[in-house]
Amino acid sequence: MKSIGSVLQKYTLDDKGGHITREFQDYGYRLAVELNDLDHTSLYIRMAKTVDRGILEQARTFVLDANARNRARLFMWKVGELKRSKNGVGEKKRGGGTVRSQADKGGR
């Protein structure tokens, strides 16, 4: 019978030096893997820390259900849309006020 230590010596771990110690780090990493965008893992970790988890989950399920060529781009677009709808921003603004036509301004 072999000792446990001799059995475990056969297996090596691929340690790349990164340590995930918090839940949001794990979620951000898993998100980067699902979106096939490991180059921007730190962005997804930051978003997992700062953005509402419900928004991220809705965007994630939307992207995974869609047949997109670039999942990461679609995910970022959907997060922006969900943030805008949550804040109630319906129209774009310029220079601090809403955009109005010349007729509304009383112009020519």
105 pLDDT tier (thresholds 50, 70, 90):
low
Distance CA 50, CA 61 (A): 19
* Rounded percentage of the chain residues whose pLDDT exceeds 70: 76
Compute the average pLDDT of residues 28-47: 96
pLDDT of 108 > 60? The answer is no
35 pLDDT tier (thresholds 50, 70, 90):
very high
pLDDT of residue 4: 84
Report whether 68 contacts 103 (CB < 8 A): no
Q: Count of CB atoms within 10 A of residue 66's CB?
A: 11
- pTM for the complete prediction? 0.66
